[in-house]
Amino acid sequence: MEVKIGVQHSPREIVLESGQTAEEVERQVTEALAGKAQLLSLTDDRGRKVLVPADRLAYVEIGEPAVRKVGFGAM
Dump pLDDT digits (tens) for 1-48. Answer: 899 999 999 999 999 999 889 999 999 999 999 999 899 999 999 999
Note whether 53 and 66 are within 8 A (CB). no
Dump pLDDT digits (tens) for 53-68. Answer: 999 999 999 987 656 6
